Amino acid sequence: MKIRSILAKKGMNVITITPDQEIRQAVTLLAAKNIGALVVVNQEQRPIGILSERDIIRQAAVDENLFSLKVADLMTQQLITGMPNDDTFSIAHTMTEKRFRHMPIVEDGKLVGIVSIGDIMKAERNQYRGEIDTLETQIMADDS
């Protein structure tokens, strides 16, 4: 399965934030959109980092005044991006090995989506269920 089939049913706007915005705004956005991470983009809309719930929590544990910090202060800059044609299997593997949960997806330098490990798990579970269902149909055909 390809990342493309996960993105295809996620609409076309990716929720992004810029590095100079405040963590306050990031938290509002994460809560309002019920998501786990924001892609940080520059003026050309190119992804330059990612800010996850975890990044915020980690800071919150040591700093009560984090809300007025800038996104740039807390975002993860070593950004690994994927492509729509990437195999879900290998992306999931990379995420678990490298311990992150969201990956921005880029095509021709443009941000086209973001996938979470949860998205991939759900898609793989559905594919697996579908295959079992299909196998059952074939076995039942054998019996009849």
Partner 1 sequence: MSQNGTLESPLRVAVVGAGPTGFYTAEHLFKQKEYVVTVDMYERLPIPFGLVRYGVAPDHPKIKSVTNVYDRIAQNPGFRFFGNVEIGKHITVPEMQAYYHQIVFTTGAQTDRRLNIPGEDLAGSLPATEFVAWYNGHPDYRDYEVDLSHENVAVVGIGNVAMDVARILCRTPEELYQTDIADYALEALRQSKVKNVYVMGRRGPGQAAFTTPEIKELGEMEDADAYVLPEEAELDVLSQAALADSSDRATMKKVEIIQSYAGRVPSGKSRRLTVRFLVSPLELVDDGEGNIACMRLVKNELYATDAGTLRPRATEKVEELPVTMVFRAIGYRGVPIPGVPFYDSWGVILNREGRVLDPETQEPLAGLYTGGWIKRGPSGVIGTNKPDALETVKNMLEDVASEKTLCPDKTGQAEIFAFVQNRQPDFFTYDDWTRLDALELAKGEAVGRPRVKFTSVDEMLKALGR
* Residue 5 engages partner 1 in binding (rule: CB under 8 A): yes
Please give the distance of CA 126 from its chain centroid, rounded to a whole number: 18
Nearest CA to 49 out of 106, 119, 104, 126 is that of: 104
Question: For partner 1, which residue of 28, 58, 89, 121 counts as binding (CB under 8 A)?
Answer: 89
| Residues 108-127 within binding reach of partner 1 (CB under 8 A) | 112, 125-127
Residue (22 or 86) nearer to partner 1, CB: 86
Q: Which residues are CB-neighbours of 104 under 8 A, at least 6 positions away?
A: 14, 39, 47, 50, 79, 81, 82, 111, 113, 114
Within 17-76, the residues that bind partner 1 by CB under 8 A are: none
Binding positions for partner 1, rule: CB under 8 A: 1-2, 4-13, 80-87, 89-91, 93-94, 97, 103, 107, 112, 125-127, 129-134, 137-138, 140-142, 144
